[in-house]
Structure 1
Amino acid sequence: MSGRAAIYRTSIAHVRRTPLRNAFTYCSYSWYVDVDALPALPRWIAPLAGFSAADHLGDPAGSLRGNVERYLATHDITLDGGRITMLASARVFGHVFNPLSLFWCHGPDGQLRCVVAEVHNTYGERHCYLLQTDPAGRATVPKAFYVSPFNDVDGRYRMKLPEPGERLAVSIILEREGQQPFVATMDGVRREATVPNILAAALAVPLAPLRVAAQIRWQGIKLWARRLPVIKRPHHPSQEAVQ
């Protein structure tokens, strides 16, 4: 396995502040990889961590690098062979669900040029936000994608997405009319992607992708039961080079 691959055992918190207050936290884990050096796992453990371009933006038959570069090209950004790192959930026994995947895109000099935040909803749709972050990893961007049936697409996201080191600390805050109705955070500690660490993560959070999707849906059921109005899902036009 590549020494550059790592696992972050994460704590993910969602806080909804208006019009109803709802907060929950759950544990999961994410992989941090170089898209040009994806982990090559022993055959007997491979079902616990699969990586495929089909799970992310662009051509399902393409490569992660090629698909990210094609998306960036639509914004006149070229990396000239610079490194692309990704934080995402892997396939586990053929199942995957990534509410958020992050791609840090560097130039050949190693300097960060941009971050791509790829968001998936539970309706099988995806949207990519292209971010020019400051030295602390901060950026703002208009919300343009329907994620929750209880939130429309108004407002702006204030994101903090520093590239992970020994610790992972990501936050996304929805801002609207002077309020912050929704906050999501993901924190974790880095572990090298060794066989013992892979097994430990898989045992700590069995079938992680299915559990995450189920937890999100369960929270939606609870909000619906509390009579929070459901907002009709608008048509989401496909982005160029995203699919």
Structure 2
Amino acid sequence: MTKFTKSAIYTGWVRHRRFLPAKHEFTYKVYLTWINLDEVNKLFTKGPLLSRSKWPSMIAFRRKNYLRSSKEDLLQACRAKVSEDLSFDFDGEVCILTNLQYFGLCYNPVSFYYCYGKDENLKAIIAEINNTPWNQRHSYCIDMREKNYKDFDKDFHISPFMPMDINYHWAFGPAKEKLAVKMQNFHKEKQMFDVDMQLERQEWSTARVLKYSLLYPLIPLKVIWGIYYQALRLKMKKVPFYDHPKLSADEHKEPSHG
């Protein structure tokens, strides 16, 4: 385990910008946890503060909130996902950049799984997307062995204010003292939307996790409220609304792991 794969806290900001068909922009502060899967059992005991159990834990890391898979072990689920989607295997650690579960509630618009080799180099990133109100999940795998970006077509409905015929350009900086992610949406070769995330690392401690949990209370509710508030603003700007395409229930069913 290296200095930068140890569990930590990242704080910073996220900016959303829409360029077409109407301009729309907002920025908000974020607090995210960087969890090394090898440290989960050590960091999350069965106490009332940091736990792997169900409510009434204040803060929890629960398997069911992450990566649909037939595999109970989350690390093995990540290995299987990369092997299936990218046709290669990695043999190192996995760190998740995510929101935890707070007072029984958890919602992540996206969680990023950073997959490392034993040579300590980043091999792949899994981006697990959640949408609301449909409560569906979808994962994209990005090969990070030779370049830090990926261009690909959208195949999962997230926002009803975004069409399906979108091309993505996602770029990732290294997860060190600072961490950056940029996600761009192009429609008919014109940039329609982008998201910038800029974070700075802090060492993990229970006291620091509790501090930021108090500074950012009820994170899942704030995230969901923010999504609907921005949707209302887009509606008022008369941005076109796109219905959810018909998707099979089996493809996006929730995991059964507890």
How far off is 1:90 after superposition? 0.6
Is 1:12 aligned to residue 17 of structure 2? no
Q: Who is 1:217 aligned against?
A: 228
Aligned residue number for residue 96 of structure 1: 106
Matched residue, 1:165:
176
Q: For residues 37 and 60 of structure 1, do their structure 2 counterparts lie closer, same or farther at Cα, with a shift above 3 Å needed?
A: farther
What aligned pairs does 1:126-145 form with structure 2 within 5 A after superposition?
126-133=137-144, 137-145=148-156
TM-score (norm 1): 0.89
Of residues 59, 67, 71, the one that matches 1:57 is: 67
Equivalent of 2:44 in 24, 40, 60? 40
Is the 2:136–2:254 contact (alpha carbons within 8 Å) kept by the matching residues of 1?
no
Q: Is the 8 A contact 1:139 1:159 kept in 2?
A: yes
> What's the TM-score once normalised by structure 2's chain length?
0.84
**Aligned 8 A contact 1:30 1:87 in 2:** yes
Q: Corresponding residue for 2:160?
A: 149
More divergent stretch after superposition (220-229 vs 96-105)? 220-229
Which moved further from structure 2: 32-41 or 87-96? 32-41
What's the RMSD between the two structures over aligned residues?
2.4
1:33 is displaced (CA, Å) by 1.4
Deviation at 1:62, TM superposition (A): 1.2
Q: Tell me the number of residue pairs that the alignment of Structure 1 and Structure 2 aligns.
A: 240
The residue type paired with residue 15 of structure 1 is R
Choose 169-178 or 133-142, whichever is displaced more. 133-142
| Shift in alpha-carbon separation, 1:113–1:133, aligned structure 2, 3 A | closer
CA distance in 1, matches of 2:27, 2:145: 28
Residue 231, structure 1, aligned to residue 242, structure 2: yes
Residue ranges of structure 2 left out of the alignment (5+ in a row): 51-56
What are the ranges of 5 or more consecutive residues in structure 1 without an aligned counterpart? Answer: none
TM-superposition CA deviations, 1:91-121 (whole Å, max 9, x none): 1111111111111112232232211111111
Q: Distance in 2 between matches of 1:177 and 1:30?
A: 34
Query: What secondary structure does 1:234 align onto?
Result: coil
| Contact 2:71 2:77 survives alignment (8 Å) | no
Of all paired residues, the percent bearing the same amino acid is: 25
Q: Output the CA distance in 2 between the equivalents of 1:25 and 1:154.
A: 26
**Is the 2:169–2:185 Cα contact (8 Å) retained in structure 1?**
yes
Aligned position for 2:54: none
For residue 87 of structure 1, the aligned residue among 85, 97, 114 is: 97
CA contact (8 A) 2:75 2:94 kept: yes
CA contact (8 A) 2:112 2:128 kept: yes
Shift of 1:134: 6.1
Distance in 2 (alpha carbons) for counterparts of 1:149 and 1:53:
29
SS of 2:102's equivalent in the other structure is coil
SS of alignment partner, residue 120 of structure 1: strand
Structure 2 Cα separation of the partners of residues 52 and 101 of structure 1: 14
Q: Aligned equivalents of 1:188 and 1:93: distance in 2?
A: 25
Residue 179 of structure 1 aligns with which residue?
Answer: 190
Tell which deviates more after alignment, 164-173 or 101-110: 101-110
Task: For CA contacts below 8 A with separation 6 or more, give which structure has more relative contact order.
Answer: 1
